[in-house]
Amino acid sequence: MAPMEVDRADGRTSNQLRPLSCTRNVLHRAHGSARWSQGDTIVLAAVFGPKAGTKKEENPEKASIEVIWKPKTGLIGKVEKEYEMILKRTLQSVCLLTIHPNTTTSVIVQVVGDDGALLPCAINASCAALADAGIPLKYLAVAICCGLTGSRSVILDPTKIEEKKILAFAYLVFPNSPISVLPKGSLTEDSEPIEAGIITSVTHGAMPVVDYFNCLDRGYAACAKISEFLRRSMESQAPSDLTKTT
Amino acid sequence: MEQRLANTWQMTVNERKFIEMALAADLRVDDRGPFDYRPCTITFGRHVFLSPPFHSSLIYLCAGGSSEVQLGETRVMSYVTSQLVQPYRDRPNEGTLSIFTEFSPMADPAFEAGRPGEFAIELGRIVDRGLRESGAVDMESLCVVVGKLVWSIRVDLHILDNGGNLIDAANIAALASLLTFRRPECTLGGDDNHELIIHDIEDREPLPLIIHHLPVAVTFAVFGEGNIMVIDPSYKEESVMGGRMTITMNSNGDICAVQKAGIGISSSVIIRCLEICAVKAAEITSKINHAMESFNDGRSIQYPNFHPVDVAIQDNLPDVIMDKKQIENLIGHLAALPLDALDRNSNKSGAVVVGTNTRAKFENNQARDGVPFYSPSNWDPYPRKLCSRLARSSLKLSGLPEDVEEDKVNTTQSVTVECGLEHTKGASSSRALETPSEYTTVEATSQYIKAPKTLKDAVKIQNRKMRK
């Protein structure tokens, strides 16, 4: 169905993202750190690890990931625990866990600003921090929030005000597009490119199945753009590792 | 438990001996003088105000007042919120101020999430004594209805990076965020003057807190036999030091708090430290004021009709709507920049870095309706005990020209501020156009809460009527 143009409060079209910004290596004590912002939603992620030993309930034959979510104000409640769990599962599928068995990598996420799409922003920040720390990864996870308005059109990256008004929204996480020397089409699973696979999908609110697939298509296209941005920002900052002081 | 200890950083004997011997020869490892602070950068955060229909509970949360301080390698973030609560029974006409410290595990692998350790509690107490018990923040102006409703201010300090001397950095962050915090105005009105109206941010300007003086903490580390003192210890110096003394002083020379632990220091050394502290406190106070001036001027320039969004003074946030081409341009800019313009260590000279390049004049601070804009130099430092309506009118009338602080910055001069990143210059002009449109669709409403009610309702009001 033809996409309808939606009037958004800050003047964006339904396909426009807020300005993205990624800075890595912001903290001195942490092994890896990144600050990711999408408009006014700003998240600071830090990575320590791998440290020796795993917790009792974790599998010692693989590396384990521990996520600590720090909200801006107030005590840690159920919402924060849920975010920790989702983030942990997402990062577990992104990291190569068999390289360092019986170790724990800690990811600490601090919310600096919250204006909608907080969990995708945190996932993006954590992946950038993991890359900054040098933890071996299969690919990076790129996350986006897609909202479904009452007129059944999909808007990308809603702000907090928009999130309260729309019918339903979904947080979608895709792997980032790989650059490889192998011919195009060889990195596929069942004739689908590898970056079309969904790592995580969290939905809020009820949406029809057709609209969910619309969200997936839009989200996948947007994530391709975000992963381009991520790759370029990492390449441009790579020389800084040589001048890093202890 | 042993695994945790194995993961923490231990100071080697060689490093310890080196630092001690260097200090005995009056040298510091990072090439500072013994009484030099590391470069300090204060940045302010940006917040979104939500209009009342989107609050789920009736405890009115007002966002605003966030600051991030970088002192050398140490980074602390502070966030201030307020809510209406019932006052303590023995102080029915005073608001409350509480400080919460979060030692985030990202600052140091030795910090554990969950229960705060003893140093976290000590830091919270030192900042609390300096701010609250010295009377820096005026509590009586936070009273709304005597005995029933007062404003409770909550300061959350998040330690993000432990590079040593957390107390000083946390204190500066708390001060900076309290100075930029704005709370909504509420008055008694309605039919019989018994209804409490919390004015929406669109209706009336939110009010700043009344801060009488700025208590600044200066930390000394003691080495040797109690005769070698240095200011602002770094992380390695802290693990070698024999003791620590923190003096909280304001620029008038009044001592607000003293905290000392560790090996004994003779009283003559303490007197000398007090004299040094007076000088340092004045320096830091002027730095904070300078940052505040730039921030407030930036705020009034970009929002001449006073919009409630604080100005973003973060370096890496160009405020334009970006499509694919612009994303590419931005990445091109980021790649072309010198590396140390990006985030940390962006300012080695010790001045305060603010990411906007606006030239501000004091006349532009006049908001609409001729009500003077409440920049820090307009605050009445000694308010008498007044009810809220009288307090507001007295603030309008007084407009005292002199500050409590000694070195007042002449605000009628135009202010030029350093800009860490070149490319935000082009973007900042578009900022004024973009953001006001965010709030055109927000409706202006105010809430009416009917008194009298039971005590339970005063604390957590369940139902409220909203009227357009």
Query: What is the pairing mode between strands A64-70 and A103-113?
Result: parallel
Measured between alpha carbons, how far is residue B174 from residues B154, B314, B355 in Å? 10, 18, 21
Query: Bridge partners of B229?
Result: B222
Q: Which residues in chain A have Cβ-Cβ distances shorter than 8 Å to B109? A: 29, 48, 51
pLDDT tens digits for range B293-308: 888 877 665 444 333 3
With a cut of 50, list the residues of chain A below it in pLDDT.
1-3, 244-246
pLDDT tens digits for range B170-205: 999 999 999 988 888 887 776 666 677 777 666 777
Distance CA B237, CA A213 (A): 58
B161–A37 CB contact, under 8 Å: no
Let me know how long chain B is.
Answer: 468
Q: What residue of A is the nearest CA neighbor of B341?
A: A23
pLDDT tens digits for range B118-167: 899 999 999 999 998 899 999 999 998 888 889 999 999 999 999 999 99
CB atoms within 10 A of CB A187: 12
Residue A62 at interface with chain B, using a CB cutoff of 8 Å: no
Of A202, A28, A215, A16, the C-alpha closest to A122 is A202
Of B78, B96, B79, the C-alpha closest to B87 is B96
Query: Token pair of B325, please?
Result: 């081409």
Distance CA B457, CA B451 (A): 9
Provide the ipTM.
0.85
With 80 as the cut, is the pLDDT of residue B321 above it?
no
Q: Provide the total of helices (H) and of strands (E) in chain B, helices listed first.
A: 10, 16
Checking B336-342 for CB contacts under 8 A at 24+ apart, the result is B337/B421, B337/B422, B337/B423, B339/A237, B339/A239, B339/A240, B339/A243, B341/B315, B341/B420, B341/B421, B342/A23, B342/A237, B342/B315, B342/B316, B342/B421
Query: Token pair of B337, please?
Result: 């920049």
Residue A6 at interface with chain B, using a CB cutoff of 8 Å: no
pLDDT tens digits for range A149-164: 888 888 999 988 888 8
From chain A residues 10-39, the ones with a CB under 8 A of any chain B CB are 10-12, 16-21, 23, 25-30, 33, 35, 37
A27–B160 CB contact, under 8 Å: yes
Q: Is B235 exposed, middle or buried (0-12, 13-18, 19+ CB in 10 A)?
A: buried
Of A14, A197, A11, the C-alpha closest to A93 is A197
Question: In one letter, which amino acid is B17?
Answer: K
Strands across the sheet containing B228-231: B228-231, B216-223, B243-249, B255-262
